[in-house]
Chain A
Amino acid sequence: MRTSTQAAPRQSPWRGLARRPARPWARRVEPYLFLSPTVLLMLVLMLVPIVMVIGYSLMDRVIMTKDSRYAGLVNYVDVLTNPVFWTAVRNTTFFTGVSVVAHLVLGMGFALLLNSPLLGNATKAIFRVIYILPWLFTVAIIAVLWRLLLNPNGVVNHLLQGAGLVDEKVEWLASTSTALYAVTFVNIWSGYPFYMMSLLAGLQGIPRDLYEAAVVDGAGGWQRFAHVTLPQLRPIIVSIAMLDVIFTTQQFALIWMTTGGGPINVTEMLSTFTYKLAFSKYDFATASASAVIIFGFSMVLAFFYVRHQKARD
Protein backbone atom coordinates (compact mmCIF):
# COMPACT_ATOMS: atom_id res chain seq x y z
CA MET A 1 0.00 0.00 0.00
CA ARG A 2 2.73 2.47 0.81
CA THR A 3 6.10 2.89 -0.78
CA SER A 4 8.52 5.73 -0.75
CA THR A 5 8.66 8.30 -3.48
CA GLN A 6 11.68 8.08 -5.70
CA ALA A 7 12.74 9.81 -8.86
CA ALA A 8 12.67 8.08 -12.20
CA PRO A 9 15.78 5.97 -12.47
CA ARG A 10 17.26 8.03 -15.27
CA GLN A 11 19.75 10.74 -14.51
CA SER A 12 17.93 14.03 -14.41
CA PRO A 13 18.63 16.31 -17.36
CA TRP A 14 17.52 19.34 -15.36
CA ARG A 15 20.55 19.27 -13.17
CA GLY A 16 22.66 20.13 -16.20
CA LEU A 17 20.17 22.66 -17.49
CA ALA A 18 19.96 24.37 -14.13
CA ARG A 19 23.62 25.39 -14.35
CA ARG A 20 23.05 27.11 -17.67
CA PRO A 21 22.40 30.81 -17.58
CA ALA A 22 18.95 30.42 -19.19
CA ARG A 23 16.22 30.53 -16.53
CA PRO A 24 18.32 28.78 -13.90
CA TRP A 25 16.51 30.41 -11.02
CA ALA A 26 13.05 29.60 -12.30
CA ARG A 27 14.01 25.99 -12.86
CA ARG A 28 15.44 25.61 -9.42
CA VAL A 29 12.36 27.13 -7.83
CA GLU A 30 9.87 25.15 -9.89
CA PRO A 31 9.75 21.93 -7.83
CA TYR A 32 9.11 23.95 -4.70
CA LEU A 33 6.18 25.67 -6.38
CA PHE A 34 4.73 22.30 -7.32
CA LEU A 35 5.18 21.14 -3.75
CA SER A 36 3.88 24.30 -2.09
CA PRO A 37 0.25 23.14 -1.59
CA THR A 38 1.50 19.90 -0.02
CA VAL A 39 3.99 21.66 2.21
CA LEU A 40 1.42 24.25 3.27
CA LEU A 41 -1.12 21.57 4.20
CA MET A 42 1.47 19.54 6.06
CA LEU A 43 2.64 22.59 8.00
CA VAL A 44 -0.83 23.75 9.02
CA LEU A 45 -2.43 20.36 9.59
CA MET A 46 0.50 18.24 10.73
CA LEU A 47 3.35 20.27 12.20
CA VAL A 48 1.20 22.92 13.93
CA PRO A 49 -1.16 20.38 15.55
CA ILE A 50 1.73 18.25 16.79
CA VAL A 51 3.36 21.30 18.36
CA MET A 52 -0.04 22.25 19.79
CA VAL A 53 -0.72 18.85 21.33
CA ILE A 54 2.73 18.76 22.92
CA GLY A 55 2.04 22.25 24.26
CA TYR A 56 -1.36 21.22 25.63
CA SER A 57 0.19 18.23 27.34
CA LEU A 58 2.43 20.54 29.37
CA MET A 59 -0.40 22.81 30.56
CA ASP A 60 -2.66 22.32 33.56
CA ARG A 61 -5.91 22.70 31.61
CA VAL A 62 -6.62 23.71 28.05
CA ILE A 63 -9.30 24.44 25.44
CA MET A 64 -12.21 24.63 27.87
CA THR A 65 -10.59 27.44 29.82
CA LYS A 66 -8.63 30.57 29.01
CA ASP A 67 -6.29 30.69 32.01
CA SER A 68 -4.06 27.69 31.38
CA ARG A 69 -0.62 27.59 32.96
CA TYR A 70 2.54 25.61 32.39
CA ALA A 71 2.35 22.49 34.49
CA GLY A 72 5.46 20.53 33.60
CA LEU A 73 5.12 16.79 33.32
CA VAL A 74 2.17 16.47 35.72
CA ASN A 75 -0.15 15.23 32.97
CA TYR A 76 2.31 12.54 31.92
CA VAL A 77 2.58 11.37 35.51
CA ASP A 78 -1.23 11.30 35.68
CA VAL A 79 -1.47 9.15 32.58
CA LEU A 80 1.35 6.78 33.50
CA THR A 81 0.02 6.22 37.03
CA ASN A 82 -3.52 5.61 35.81
CA PRO A 83 -4.20 1.86 36.01
CA VAL A 84 -6.73 2.14 33.14
CA PHE A 85 -3.91 3.36 30.88
CA TRP A 86 -1.99 0.15 31.54
CA THR A 87 -5.14 -1.90 30.99
CA ALA A 88 -5.46 -0.12 27.66
CA VAL A 89 -1.82 -0.92 26.83
CA ARG A 90 -2.42 -4.62 27.60
CA ASN A 91 -5.67 -4.72 25.60
CA THR A 92 -4.17 -2.89 22.63
CA THR A 93 -1.21 -5.28 22.63
CA PHE A 94 -3.47 -8.34 22.71
CA PHE A 95 -5.87 -6.93 20.13
CA THR A 96 -3.04 -5.97 17.76
CA GLY A 97 -0.90 -9.07 18.25
CA VAL A 98 -3.72 -11.56 17.72
CA SER A 99 -5.20 -9.56 14.82
CA VAL A 100 -1.91 -9.29 12.93
CA VAL A 101 -1.04 -12.98 13.29
CA ALA A 102 -4.57 -14.09 12.33
CA HIS A 103 -4.67 -11.65 9.40
CA LEU A 104 -1.40 -13.06 8.12
CA VAL A 105 -2.40 -16.70 8.51
CA LEU A 106 -5.85 -16.22 6.95
CA GLY A 107 -4.57 -13.88 4.24
CA MET A 108 -1.83 -16.33 3.29
CA GLY A 109 -4.17 -19.32 3.36
CA PHE A 110 -6.82 -17.68 1.18
CA ALA A 111 -4.18 -16.24 -1.18
CA LEU A 112 -2.65 -19.69 -1.69
CA LEU A 113 -6.07 -21.23 -2.32
CA LEU A 114 -7.02 -18.45 -4.75
CA ASN A 115 -3.72 -18.88 -6.57
CA SER A 116 -4.13 -22.64 -6.95
CA PRO A 117 -3.38 -23.83 -10.51
CA LEU A 118 -6.08 -26.48 -10.02
CA LEU A 119 -8.91 -23.96 -10.39
CA GLY A 120 -10.25 -22.18 -13.43
CA ASN A 121 -9.99 -18.43 -13.73
CA ALA A 122 -13.74 -17.83 -13.45
CA THR A 123 -13.95 -19.84 -10.21
CA LYS A 124 -11.03 -17.88 -8.79
CA ALA A 125 -12.58 -14.54 -9.79
CA ILE A 126 -15.87 -15.38 -8.05
CA PHE A 127 -14.20 -16.48 -4.83
CA ARG A 128 -11.90 -13.45 -4.92
CA VAL A 129 -14.92 -11.14 -4.92
CA ILE A 130 -16.51 -13.02 -2.02
CA TYR A 131 -13.33 -13.03 0.03
CA ILE A 132 -12.69 -9.33 -0.49
CA LEU A 133 -16.21 -8.40 0.73
CA PRO A 134 -15.36 -7.54 4.37
CA TRP A 135 -12.87 -4.97 3.14
CA LEU A 136 -15.55 -3.04 1.27
CA PHE A 137 -17.48 -2.09 4.39
CA THR A 138 -17.06 1.00 6.52
CA VAL A 139 -16.03 0.32 10.09
CA ALA A 140 -19.33 1.84 11.20
CA ILE A 141 -21.21 -0.73 9.12
CA ILE A 142 -19.02 -3.58 10.37
CA ALA A 143 -19.70 -2.49 13.93
CA VAL A 144 -23.52 -2.40 13.67
CA LEU A 145 -23.58 -5.58 11.61
CA TRP A 146 -21.65 -7.54 14.23
CA ARG A 147 -23.73 -6.03 17.02
CA LEU A 148 -26.72 -7.55 15.28
CA LEU A 149 -25.03 -10.91 14.69
CA LEU A 150 -23.54 -11.16 18.19
CA ASN A 151 -26.67 -9.95 19.97
CA PRO A 152 -27.64 -12.40 22.75
CA ASN A 153 -30.81 -13.17 20.75
CA GLY A 154 -28.92 -13.05 17.48
CA VAL A 155 -28.18 -15.55 14.81
CA VAL A 156 -24.65 -16.45 15.95
CA ASN A 157 -25.89 -17.68 19.33
CA HIS A 158 -28.70 -19.56 17.60
CA LEU A 159 -26.29 -21.35 15.26
CA LEU A 160 -23.80 -22.12 18.03
CA GLN A 161 -26.58 -23.45 20.29
CA GLY A 162 -27.85 -25.56 17.42
CA ALA A 163 -24.37 -27.00 16.97
CA GLY A 164 -24.14 -27.62 20.73
CA LEU A 165 -21.11 -25.33 21.10
CA VAL A 166 -22.66 -23.04 23.71
CA ASP A 167 -25.28 -23.91 26.34
CA GLU A 168 -26.85 -20.54 26.86
CA LYS A 169 -27.18 -17.18 25.14
CA VAL A 170 -23.78 -15.52 25.32
CA GLU A 171 -23.57 -11.73 25.60
CA TRP A 172 -20.51 -11.68 23.36
CA LEU A 173 -19.89 -7.92 23.41
CA ALA A 174 -21.31 -7.20 26.85
CA SER A 175 -19.65 -9.88 28.97
CA THR A 176 -16.27 -9.21 30.59
CA SER A 177 -15.09 -12.70 29.73
CA THR A 178 -15.79 -12.52 25.97
CA ALA A 179 -15.84 -8.87 24.84
CA LEU A 180 -12.12 -8.55 24.06
CA TYR A 181 -12.14 -11.81 22.08
CA ALA A 182 -15.29 -10.75 20.25
CA VAL A 183 -13.92 -7.38 19.08
CA THR A 184 -10.64 -9.02 18.10
CA PHE A 185 -12.56 -11.58 16.06
CA VAL A 186 -14.52 -8.85 14.28
CA ASN A 187 -11.30 -7.02 13.53
CA ILE A 188 -9.79 -10.20 12.10
CA TRP A 189 -12.86 -10.72 9.92
CA SER A 190 -12.68 -7.21 8.54
CA GLY A 191 -8.93 -6.92 8.05
CA TYR A 192 -7.57 -10.07 6.36
CA PRO A 193 -8.52 -9.10 2.74
CA PHE A 194 -5.75 -6.53 2.61
CA TYR A 195 -3.18 -9.25 3.33
CA MET A 196 -4.90 -11.66 0.98
CA MET A 197 -4.84 -9.28 -1.98
CA SER A 198 -1.27 -8.11 -1.34
CA LEU A 199 0.00 -11.67 -0.97
CA LEU A 200 -1.96 -12.79 -4.02
CA ALA A 201 -0.31 -10.06 -6.09
CA GLY A 202 3.02 -11.15 -4.61
CA LEU A 203 2.40 -14.82 -5.42
CA GLN A 204 1.61 -13.97 -9.01
CA GLY A 205 4.92 -12.13 -9.24
CA ILE A 206 7.07 -15.10 -8.22
CA PRO A 207 8.93 -16.39 -11.31
CA ARG A 208 7.71 -19.83 -12.37
CA ASP A 209 11.21 -21.14 -13.03
CA LEU A 210 11.97 -20.92 -9.29
CA TYR A 211 9.29 -23.54 -8.70
CA GLU A 212 10.42 -25.60 -11.67
CA ALA A 213 13.98 -25.60 -10.34
CA ALA A 214 12.67 -26.66 -6.92
CA VAL A 215 10.72 -29.53 -8.50
CA VAL A 216 13.84 -30.64 -10.36
CA ASP A 217 15.64 -30.65 -7.01
CA GLY A 218 12.93 -32.96 -5.70
CA ALA A 219 11.18 -30.47 -3.42
CA GLY A 220 7.68 -31.40 -2.25
CA GLY A 221 4.75 -29.03 -1.82
CA TRP A 222 5.65 -27.97 1.71
CA GLN A 223 9.32 -27.52 0.83
CA ARG A 224 8.43 -25.38 -2.17
CA PHE A 225 6.32 -23.20 0.13
CA ALA A 226 9.02 -22.91 2.78
CA HIS A 227 12.00 -22.43 0.47
CA VAL A 228 10.54 -20.57 -2.52
CA THR A 229 7.19 -18.95 -1.67
CA LEU A 230 7.93 -17.65 1.83
CA PRO A 231 11.36 -16.13 1.07
CA GLN A 232 9.96 -14.49 -2.07
CA LEU A 233 7.01 -13.00 -0.16
CA ARG A 234 9.04 -11.98 2.87
CA PRO A 235 9.43 -8.26 1.99
CA ILE A 236 5.68 -7.97 1.32
CA ILE A 237 4.83 -9.77 4.54
CA VAL A 238 7.09 -7.50 6.59
CA SER A 239 5.62 -4.36 4.95
CA ILE A 240 1.97 -5.25 5.44
CA ALA A 241 2.50 -6.61 8.94
CA MET A 242 4.21 -3.37 9.98
CA LEU A 243 1.44 -1.25 8.47
CA ASP A 244 -1.13 -3.47 10.16
CA VAL A 245 0.56 -3.04 13.55
CA ILE A 246 0.60 0.75 13.05
CA PHE A 247 -3.07 0.92 12.05
CA THR A 248 -4.46 -1.71 14.43
CA THR A 249 -2.90 -0.03 17.47
CA GLN A 250 -4.77 3.12 16.36
CA GLN A 251 -8.14 1.42 15.84
CA PHE A 252 -10.89 3.50 17.37
CA ALA A 253 -14.17 3.33 15.47
CA LEU A 254 -14.68 -0.43 15.75
CA ILE A 255 -14.18 -0.46 19.51
CA TRP A 256 -16.13 2.73 20.08
CA MET A 257 -19.18 1.50 18.20
CA THR A 258 -19.25 -2.08 19.51
CA THR A 259 -18.26 -1.92 23.16
CA GLY A 260 -17.18 1.66 23.82
CA GLY A 261 -14.20 0.23 25.71
CA GLY A 262 -16.40 -1.62 28.16
CA PRO A 263 -17.62 -3.60 29.94
CA ILE A 264 -15.47 -2.36 32.88
CA ASN A 265 -12.55 -1.44 30.61
CA VAL A 266 -11.98 -4.96 29.26
CA THR A 267 -11.86 -3.64 25.69
CA GLU A 268 -10.39 -0.24 26.52
CA MET A 269 -7.73 0.60 23.93
CA LEU A 270 -5.22 3.45 23.93
CA SER A 271 -7.37 5.31 21.41
CA THR A 272 -10.64 4.99 23.36
CA PHE A 273 -8.89 5.78 26.63
CA THR A 274 -7.51 9.01 25.15
CA TYR A 275 -10.79 9.92 23.46
CA LYS A 276 -12.74 9.53 26.69
CA LEU A 277 -10.29 11.71 28.60
CA ALA A 278 -10.76 14.46 26.04
CA PHE A 279 -14.37 14.28 24.95
CA SER A 280 -16.16 12.60 27.86
CA LYS A 281 -14.23 14.10 30.78
CA TYR A 282 -13.10 17.25 28.90
CA ASP A 283 -9.68 16.82 30.46
CA PHE A 284 -7.88 17.89 27.31
CA ALA A 285 -4.50 18.41 28.97
CA THR A 286 -4.23 14.85 30.29
CA ALA A 287 -5.69 13.52 27.06
CA SER A 288 -2.97 15.41 25.17
CA ALA A 289 -0.28 13.76 27.29
CA SER A 290 -1.76 10.38 26.45
CA ALA A 291 -1.97 11.37 22.77
CA VAL A 292 1.71 12.37 22.78
CA ILE A 293 2.69 9.02 24.32
CA ILE A 294 0.77 7.19 21.55
CA PHE A 295 2.39 9.49 19.00
CA GLY A 296 5.87 8.64 20.26
CA PHE A 297 5.11 4.95 20.05
CA SER A 298 3.76 5.29 16.49
CA MET A 299 6.84 7.21 15.41
CA VAL A 300 9.07 4.39 16.63
CA LEU A 301 7.03 1.98 14.49
CA ALA A 302 7.16 4.41 11.56
CA PHE A 303 10.94 4.63 11.88
CA PHE A 304 11.27 0.88 11.40
CA TYR A 305 8.75 0.92 8.57
CA VAL A 306 10.57 3.69 6.68
CA ARG A 307 13.89 1.94 7.21
CA HIS A 308 12.45 -1.30 5.86
CA GLN A 309 10.99 0.45 2.80
CA LYS A 310 14.29 2.19 2.10
CA ALA A 311 16.11 -1.12 2.30
CA ARG A 312 13.71 -2.50 -0.31
CA ASP A 313 14.29 0.31 -2.78
Chain B
Amino acid sequence: MEPRGLRRAVMKAGVLFALLAGAVVVAFPVVWMAVSSFKSNPEIFELPPRLVTESFSFDAYTTILRDPVKVRFFVNSYVVALSVTALTLVVAILAGYAFSRFDFVGKRPLNMIIVSVQAVPPITLLIPYFGLMVTLRLYNTYAALILTYMVFTLPYAIIMMTGYFNTLPRELDEAVRVDGAGSMTALWRILVPISIPGLVSVGIYTFMIAWNEYLFALTLTRTQDMRTVPIGIQLLMGQHSYEWNEMMAMSILGCIPVLVLFLFFQRFFIGGMTAGSVKS
Protein backbone atom coordinates (compact mmCIF):
# COMPACT_ATOMS: atom_id res chain seq x y z
CA MET B 1 0.00 0.00 0.00
CA GLU B 2 1.26 3.48 -0.73
CA PRO B 3 2.04 5.58 2.38
CA ARG B 4 -1.00 7.84 1.95
CA GLY B 5 -3.38 4.90 1.77
CA LEU B 6 -1.73 3.25 4.75
CA ARG B 7 -1.97 6.42 6.77
CA ARG B 8 -5.64 6.66 5.92
CA ALA B 9 -6.27 3.05 6.92
CA VAL B 10 -4.51 3.55 10.26
CA MET B 11 -6.50 6.70 10.95
CA LYS B 12 -9.74 4.95 10.06
CA ALA B 13 -8.90 2.11 12.44
CA GLY B 14 -8.14 4.67 15.14
CA VAL B 15 -11.47 6.47 14.67
CA LEU B 16 -13.37 3.17 14.70
CA PHE B 17 -11.56 2.01 17.81
CA ALA B 18 -12.33 5.27 19.64
CA LEU B 19 -16.00 5.06 18.64
CA LEU B 20 -16.25 1.44 19.75
CA ALA B 21 -14.57 2.11 23.09
CA GLY B 22 -16.91 5.05 23.73
CA ALA B 23 -19.93 3.02 22.64
CA VAL B 24 -19.15 0.31 25.23
CA VAL B 25 -19.11 2.85 28.08
CA VAL B 26 -22.23 4.62 26.77
CA ALA B 27 -24.29 1.57 25.94
CA PHE B 28 -23.30 -0.83 28.71
CA PRO B 29 -25.64 0.68 31.33
CA VAL B 30 -28.52 0.41 28.87
CA VAL B 31 -27.69 -3.21 28.07
CA TRP B 32 -27.44 -3.92 31.78
CA MET B 33 -30.88 -2.43 32.36
CA ALA B 34 -32.38 -4.74 29.73
CA VAL B 35 -30.49 -7.78 31.02
CA SER B 36 -31.53 -7.13 34.61
CA SER B 37 -35.19 -6.83 33.67
CA PHE B 38 -35.10 -10.48 32.54
CA LYS B 39 -33.49 -11.76 35.72
CA SER B 40 -35.15 -12.87 38.91
CA ASN B 41 -34.58 -10.50 41.81
CA PRO B 42 -32.14 -12.71 43.79
CA GLU B 43 -30.03 -13.07 40.64
CA ILE B 44 -29.50 -9.31 40.24
CA PHE B 45 -26.43 -9.12 42.48
CA GLU B 46 -25.20 -12.65 41.84
CA LEU B 47 -21.45 -12.95 41.42
CA PRO B 48 -19.96 -13.06 38.93
CA PRO B 49 -22.51 -10.83 37.15
CA ARG B 50 -23.84 -12.50 34.04
CA LEU B 51 -25.02 -10.92 30.81
CA VAL B 52 -27.02 -13.99 29.87
CA THR B 53 -28.94 -15.55 32.70
CA GLU B 54 -30.00 -19.15 33.06
CA SER B 55 -33.43 -18.21 34.28
CA PHE B 56 -34.31 -15.77 31.52
CA SER B 57 -37.93 -14.77 32.03
CA PHE B 58 -40.54 -12.10 31.41
CA ASP B 59 -41.81 -12.43 34.98
CA ALA B 60 -40.95 -8.87 35.92
CA TYR B 61 -42.92 -7.57 32.94
CA THR B 62 -45.97 -9.71 33.56
CA THR B 63 -45.98 -8.73 37.23
CA ILE B 64 -46.12 -5.05 36.24
CA LEU B 65 -48.64 -5.43 33.45
CA ARG B 66 -50.97 -7.50 35.65
CA ASP B 67 -50.89 -4.99 38.48
CA PRO B 68 -53.66 -2.39 37.88
CA VAL B 69 -51.87 0.12 40.12
CA LYS B 70 -48.77 0.03 37.92
CA VAL B 71 -50.72 0.01 34.67
CA ARG B 72 -52.45 3.12 35.94
CA PHE B 73 -49.05 4.91 36.10
CA PHE B 74 -48.70 4.36 32.37
CA VAL B 75 -52.27 5.42 31.61
CA ASN B 76 -51.70 8.62 33.61
CA SER B 77 -48.46 9.37 31.83
CA TYR B 78 -50.06 8.90 28.41
CA VAL B 79 -53.11 11.03 29.28
CA VAL B 80 -50.98 13.85 30.63
CA ALA B 81 -48.28 13.78 27.95
CA LEU B 82 -50.72 13.54 25.02
CA SER B 83 -52.94 16.32 26.41
CA VAL B 84 -49.94 18.58 26.97
CA THR B 85 -48.72 17.89 23.43
CA ALA B 86 -52.09 18.62 21.80
CA LEU B 87 -52.76 21.79 23.80
CA THR B 88 -49.21 23.06 23.39
CA LEU B 89 -49.36 22.60 19.63
CA VAL B 90 -52.66 24.47 19.26
CA VAL B 91 -51.58 27.40 21.44
CA ALA B 92 -48.13 27.53 19.82
CA ILE B 93 -49.57 27.50 16.28
CA LEU B 94 -51.73 30.53 17.12
CA ALA B 95 -48.89 32.40 18.81
CA GLY B 96 -46.33 31.46 16.17
CA TYR B 97 -48.66 32.76 13.47
CA ALA B 98 -49.01 36.11 15.26
CA PHE B 99 -45.23 36.44 15.68
CA SER B 100 -44.47 35.36 12.15
CA ARG B 101 -47.09 37.27 10.15
CA PHE B 102 -47.97 40.40 12.11
CA ASP B 103 -46.19 43.45 13.40
CA PHE B 104 -47.77 44.83 16.52
CA VAL B 105 -47.05 46.97 19.56
CA GLY B 106 -45.38 44.95 22.29
CA LYS B 107 -44.02 42.27 20.00
CA ARG B 108 -40.37 42.60 20.98
CA PRO B 109 -40.91 42.66 24.76
CA LEU B 110 -43.33 39.76 24.55
CA ASN B 111 -40.83 37.85 22.48
CA MET B 112 -38.10 38.48 25.05
CA ILE B 113 -40.36 37.42 27.89
CA ILE B 114 -41.12 34.14 26.12
CA VAL B 115 -37.42 33.46 25.60
CA SER B 116 -36.46 34.24 29.20
CA VAL B 117 -39.41 32.40 30.76
CA GLN B 118 -37.60 29.20 29.84
CA ALA B 119 -34.95 29.97 32.41
CA VAL B 120 -37.36 30.32 35.34
CA PRO B 121 -36.41 27.49 37.73
CA PRO B 122 -39.19 24.91 38.28
CA ILE B 123 -38.39 24.89 41.99
CA THR B 124 -39.25 28.62 42.19
CA LEU B 125 -42.68 28.00 40.66
CA LEU B 126 -43.30 24.82 42.61
CA ILE B 127 -44.15 26.45 45.94
CA PRO B 128 -46.74 28.92 44.56
CA TYR B 129 -48.10 26.18 42.26
CA PHE B 130 -48.68 24.01 45.28
CA GLY B 131 -50.59 26.84 46.98
CA LEU B 132 -52.39 27.74 43.75
CA MET B 133 -53.49 24.20 42.94
CA VAL B 134 -54.79 23.62 46.46
CA THR B 135 -56.73 26.91 46.30
CA LEU B 136 -58.16 26.16 42.84
CA ARG B 137 -59.02 22.63 43.98
CA LEU B 138 -56.86 21.21 41.19
CA TYR B 139 -54.37 19.54 43.54
CA ASN B 140 -54.00 15.84 42.67
CA THR B 141 -55.71 16.14 39.26
CA TYR B 142 -54.59 15.74 35.66
CA ALA B 143 -55.34 19.43 35.10
CA ALA B 144 -52.71 20.45 37.65
CA LEU B 145 -50.02 18.57 35.74
CA ILE B 146 -51.20 19.50 32.24
CA LEU B 147 -51.39 23.23 32.98
CA THR B 148 -48.08 23.45 34.79
CA TYR B 149 -46.23 21.37 32.18
CA MET B 150 -47.44 23.73 29.47
CA VAL B 151 -45.53 26.57 31.06
CA PHE B 152 -42.35 24.69 30.21
CA THR B 153 -43.33 23.29 26.82
CA LEU B 154 -45.01 26.37 25.39
CA PRO B 155 -42.13 28.88 25.09
CA TYR B 156 -39.98 26.47 23.14
CA ALA B 157 -42.91 25.40 20.98
CA ILE B 158 -43.78 29.02 20.14
CA ILE B 159 -40.19 29.82 19.23
CA MET B 160 -40.00 26.74 17.01
CA MET B 161 -43.34 27.37 15.29
CA THR B 162 -42.49 31.02 14.63
CA GLY B 163 -39.21 29.92 13.09
CA TYR B 164 -40.98 27.32 10.98
CA PHE B 165 -43.66 29.72 9.72
CA ASN B 166 -40.90 32.21 8.87
CA THR B 167 -39.43 29.71 6.41
CA LEU B 168 -42.75 29.58 4.51
CA PRO B 169 -43.30 32.33 1.91
CA ARG B 170 -45.89 34.90 2.86
CA GLU B 171 -47.42 34.71 -0.60
CA LEU B 172 -49.00 31.39 0.41
CA ASP B 173 -51.33 32.76 3.02
CA GLU B 174 -51.60 36.22 1.47
CA ALA B 175 -53.17 34.70 -1.63
CA VAL B 176 -55.93 33.15 0.49
CA ARG B 177 -56.46 36.38 2.37
CA VAL B 178 -56.76 38.41 -0.82
CA ASP B 179 -59.57 36.05 -1.82
CA GLY B 180 -61.45 37.38 1.18
CA ALA B 181 -60.83 34.53 3.60
CA GLY B 182 -59.89 35.40 7.14
CA SER B 183 -56.57 34.84 8.91
CA MET B 184 -57.90 31.75 10.63
CA THR B 185 -58.60 30.10 7.28
CA ALA B 186 -55.17 31.08 5.97
CA LEU B 187 -53.54 29.63 9.07
CA TRP B 188 -55.42 26.35 9.45
CA ARG B 189 -56.07 25.55 5.78
CA ILE B 190 -52.79 26.67 4.24
CA LEU B 191 -49.98 27.09 6.75
CA VAL B 192 -50.68 24.28 9.20
CA PRO B 193 -50.96 21.47 6.61
CA ILE B 194 -47.60 22.34 5.08
CA SER B 195 -46.00 22.74 8.51
CA ILE B 196 -46.41 19.08 9.45
CA PRO B 197 -42.65 18.44 9.69
CA GLY B 198 -42.26 21.36 12.08
CA LEU B 199 -45.29 20.25 14.07
CA VAL B 200 -43.89 16.72 14.37
CA SER B 201 -40.58 18.06 15.74
CA VAL B 202 -42.31 20.31 18.24
CA GLY B 203 -44.82 17.60 19.16
CA ILE B 204 -42.11 15.02 19.86
CA TYR B 205 -40.11 17.42 21.93
CA THR B 206 -43.18 18.47 23.91
CA PHE B 207 -44.27 14.89 24.49
CA MET B 208 -40.82 14.00 25.76
CA ILE B 209 -40.69 16.86 28.25
CA ALA B 210 -44.14 15.95 29.57
CA TRP B 211 -43.39 12.21 29.67
CA ASN B 212 -40.18 12.78 31.62
CA GLU B 213 -41.32 15.41 34.10
CA TYR B 214 -40.67 14.50 37.71
CA LEU B 215 -40.73 17.42 40.16
CA PHE B 216 -44.29 18.64 39.58
CA ALA B 217 -45.66 15.12 39.31
CA LEU B 218 -44.05 14.36 42.66
CA THR B 219 -45.45 17.42 44.39
CA LEU B 220 -48.78 18.22 42.73
CA THR B 221 -50.23 14.71 42.95
CA ARG B 222 -50.67 12.67 46.09
CA THR B 223 -52.65 9.49 45.56
CA GLN B 224 -51.30 6.42 43.78
CA ASP B 225 -54.00 6.54 41.10
CA MET B 226 -52.71 9.95 39.94
CA ARG B 227 -49.00 9.12 39.82
CA THR B 228 -47.08 9.08 36.53
CA VAL B 229 -44.40 6.62 35.41
CA PRO B 230 -41.34 8.49 36.77
CA ILE B 231 -42.93 8.59 40.23
CA GLY B 232 -44.12 4.99 39.81
CA ILE B 233 -40.55 3.86 39.24
CA GLN B 234 -39.50 5.64 42.39
CA LEU B 235 -42.38 4.08 44.34
CA LEU B 236 -40.98 0.65 43.51
CA MET B 237 -37.90 1.57 45.52
CA GLY B 238 -38.21 0.48 49.08
CA GLN B 239 -41.85 -0.50 49.09
CA HIS B 240 -40.94 -3.77 50.76
CA SER B 241 -37.51 -4.54 49.48
CA TYR B 242 -35.96 -3.31 46.28
CA GLU B 243 -37.54 -5.14 43.36
CA TRP B 244 -34.68 -4.36 41.01
CA ASN B 245 -35.90 -6.56 38.18
CA GLU B 246 -39.32 -4.91 38.28
CA MET B 247 -37.78 -1.46 38.40
CA MET B 248 -35.70 -2.26 35.33
CA ALA B 249 -38.70 -3.74 33.51
CA MET B 250 -40.74 -0.68 34.34
CA SER B 251 -37.87 1.51 33.11
CA ILE B 252 -37.79 -0.37 29.82
CA LEU B 253 -41.57 -0.01 29.46
CA GLY B 254 -41.23 3.63 30.47
CA CYS B 255 -38.75 4.52 27.76
CA ILE B 256 -40.55 2.66 24.96
CA PRO B 257 -42.68 5.62 23.78
CA VAL B 258 -39.66 7.90 23.50
CA LEU B 259 -37.60 5.14 21.91
CA VAL B 260 -40.32 4.45 19.32
CA LEU B 261 -40.65 8.15 18.52
CA PHE B 262 -36.92 8.33 18.11
CA LEU B 263 -36.63 5.33 15.83
CA PHE B 264 -39.51 6.34 13.55
CA PHE B 265 -38.95 10.09 13.49
CA GLN B 266 -35.22 10.34 13.97
CA ARG B 267 -34.84 13.31 11.65
CA PHE B 268 -37.60 15.35 13.32
CA PHE B 269 -36.43 14.26 16.72
CA ILE B 270 -32.92 15.55 16.16
CA GLY B 271 -34.36 18.62 14.43
CA GLY B 272 -36.31 19.48 17.56
CA MET B 273 -33.34 18.77 19.78
CA THR B 274 -30.84 20.95 17.98
CA ALA B 275 -33.03 23.62 16.37
CA GLY B 276 -32.37 26.40 18.83
CA SER B 277 -28.64 26.26 19.20
CA VAL B 278 -27.94 25.61 15.54
CA LYS B 279 -29.04 28.13 12.99
CA SER B 280 -29.16 27.60 9.29
Interface residues of A (CB under 8 A from B): 1-10, 12-15, 28, 30-32, 34-35, 37-39, 41-42, 45-46, 48-50, 52-53, 56, 62-63, 110, 113-114, 116, 118-119, 123, 127, 129-141, 143-149, 151, 153-155, 158, 189, 194, 197-198, 201-202, 205, 235-236, 239-240, 243, 246, 249-250, 252-253, 256-257, 270-271, 274-275, 278-279, 284, 287-288, 291-292, 294-295, 298-299, 301-303, 305-306, 309, 312
Contact = CB atoms under 8 A, between A and B. Distances in A.
B121 A250 contact: yes
Given A114-B19, A138-B211, 10 more contacts: A4-B159, A13-B170, A34-B98, A50-B124, A63-B131, A137-B30, A144-B248, A189-B26, A240-B277, A306-B115
Contacts of A114: 19
A-B residue pairs, 4 tightest by C-beta? A140-B230, A302-B119, A49-B128, A1-B276
B29 to A, nearest CB: 6
Contact of A295 (B19, B114, B121, B277): B121
8 contacts: A5-B158, A6-B162, A53-B125, A138-B229, A144-B233, A155-B32, A155-B49, A284-B131
Contact of B122 (A13, A154, A240, A250): A250
B52 interface: no
B274 interface: yes
Given A113-B15, A205-B280, A298-B119, A32 B22 contact: no
Interface of B: 8, 11-12, 15-16, 18-19, 22-23, 26-27, 29-30, 32-33, 36, 44-45, 47-49, 90-92, 94-104, 107, 110-132, 134, 147-148, 150-151, 154-156, 158-159, 162-163, 165-166, 170, 174, 183, 211-212, 214-215, 218-219, 229-231, 233-234, 236-237, 244, 247-248, 251, 254-255, 258-259, 262, 266, 270, 273-280
A256 B233 CA distance: 13
Nearest to B251: A141
Given A130-B26, A149-B29, A287-B127, A136 B255 contact: yes
Q: Is the interface of B mostly helix, strand, loop or mixed?
A: helix
A212 B265 CA distance: 34
A312 to B, nearest CB: 7
B129 to A, nearest CB: 6
Given A31-B98, A202-B278, A130 B159 contact: no
B109 to A, nearest CB: 11
B100 A292 contact: no
Contacts of B148: 45
Most buried by B among A113, A141, A301: A141
Nearest to B167: A8
Contacts of B130: 63, 278
Contacts of A8: 100-101, 165-166, 170
Given A4-B115, A138-B229, A205-B280, A131 B214 contact: no
Contact of A62 (B18, B131, B155): B131
Contact of B244 (A131, A148, A291): A148
Contact of B45 (A41, A151, A257): A151
Contacts of A141: 33, 230, 233, 251, 254-255
Contacts of B215: 252-253, 275
Contact of B277 (A116, A137, A236, A301): A236
B91 A48 contact: no
Q: Which one of B92, B94, B103, B276 has the greatest number of beta carbons of chain A within 10 Å?
A: B276
Contacts of B233: 140-141, 144
Contact of B229 (A38, A140, A294, A305): A140
Contacts of A41: 91, 147, 150-151, 154
Contacts of B95: 34-35, 37-38
